[in-house]
Structure 1
């Protein structure tokens, strides 16, 4: 039986276009506003949703996503509430894959066995846990796979052909290629280098390869989408949300500030395979 992630990439392949993968932080700037944005993402053009698990020490994230996590934590967001958000989303939307992204510490505190069971029951499709290398697969990756959750691994510009098989060994769903060295939102990716890197990774796996870190607008998304199976956008959306806030609080325009940018970038992604685009 195929899962939601596999079905979504198969659908997109049949349409001849890459995926748009959007990131938002659970509970940023408050639970209800974040949920309203999440509800609107599929109609705005998001093919897969990455939902950040707020954590106090997000070492791989740039300032924008760090601030988003801190806003969510200040508002009382927890991992248990994050799973409840997915459960609420699933009550209305059964097709769009949801991937939880974050760090191992909150999962460890929750309890791995309980977490993977609760995540699966809530409707989570996969996990991206950036601080667990393949050498620690016993900690979470293998229990997650056994529970029916995809475990999505990151490859980077420094992941050479010797290291790549270890990274890919227990990876499922898709491979997340980090297009730059450094933290999220810190630089712009080079489309030519990204396409070559994706091609290299594809020599080692049949999984789709999605590219993220540094994609900020429709033009970039179109360029990256030409050589990838998916384009991941995170910091740009989080910054659009942050810009809409007044003294840290959401206003009536906050959801649309994010969703309008998603629609714009979705247009770029869709155009990436159009001749002459």
Structure 2
């Protein structure tokens, strides 16, 4: 039986379109608002959801997601709470893949074997741990496999042809290409650079390649959707919700409204 992630990615390939992968932070700005955004993402057009695990030191993330992590922790965000939110989402949606994204420390503290079992029970399909390189992943990967959780590794512009086989050798689900050498939500890479990188990665793996970091607009998302199997947008969605809340508007409507526009761009990209 194919996993939710494999099923969704296979379906997208059959339809000859890229997927929209959306990131939001659990508990940002509070649990109820975060759950409402999370629950509304599939109807707004998200094909795969990355759900952020709040962490005190999000060193790979830019200001938008760092601030989101801070707000989430102030709101009582926890790894246990994130799993409870996934379980609540699963009561309404059994099909959309959910990938938890964050850092290894909370998972390590939980215990890799127990965490993977608990995450699978909640309805988690994959993990992205940005600070866990392939060389350090051996204590986690067996538990992921035992619980049918895909482990998604990151590749970057500095991952050369000698490094790529090491990264993708134990990857599953998809390969996440970080399109810039930097933090989330900042600069954007050129279409030429992204296209060349995706082609190079695909020489080393048959897995789909999803591209993120620096994609903010429907136009940028459409450009990347012509080059990759998936388009990852996070900081722009997080920022849209935060700006709406600060302005006294509805953060849920702001986040989902942007997702709908991004989805329109992605879905029309190859027509």
Q: TM-score range by the shorter chain?
A: over 0.9
2:204 matched to which residue of 1? 204
Aligned with residue 266 of structure 1, among 241, 263, 268: 263
Root-mean-square deviation (CA, aligned residues, Å) is: 1.0
Matched, 1:79 2:76: no
Post-superposition Cα deviations, 1:176-230, rounded to whole Å, max 9, x if no partner, equal 0000110001101211110110011011111000000000010000111111000
After TM superposition, give the deviation of residue 252 of structure 1 in Å. 5.9
CA–CA distance in structure 1, aligned partners of residues 117 and 195 of structure 2: 37
CA–CA distance in structure 1, aligned partners of residues 196 and 134 of structure 2: 24
Give the TM-score normalised by the residue count of structure 2: 0.98
After TM superposition, give the deviation of residue 13 of structure 1 in Å. 1.1
Gaps of 5+ in 2: none
Give the TM-score normalised by the residue count of structure 1: 0.96
CA–CA distance in structure 2, aligned partners of residues 141 and 114 of structure 1: 13
CA–CA distance in structure 1, aligned partners of residues 220 and 268 of structure 2: 11
After TM superposition, give the deviation of residue 246 of structure 1 in Å. 3.1
CA–CA distance in structure 2, aligned partners of residues 15 and 189 of structure 1: 26
Matched, 1:123 2:123: yes
Post-superposition Cα deviations, 1:131-170, rounded to whole Å, max 9, x if no partner, equal 1111112121232122210000000000000000000011
**Which stretches of structure 1, 4 residues or longer, exceed 4 Å deviation after superposition?**
none
After TM superposition, give the deviation of residue 238 of structure 1 in Å. 0.7
1:103 matched to which residue of 2? 103
1:149 matched to which residue of 2? 149
What aligned pairs does 1:62-73 form with structure 2 within 5 A after superposition?
Answer: 62-73=62-73
1:254 matched to which residue of 2? 251
Q: Which moved more, 1:140-149 or 1:35-44?
A: 140-149
The alignment partner of 1:245 has SS state of helix
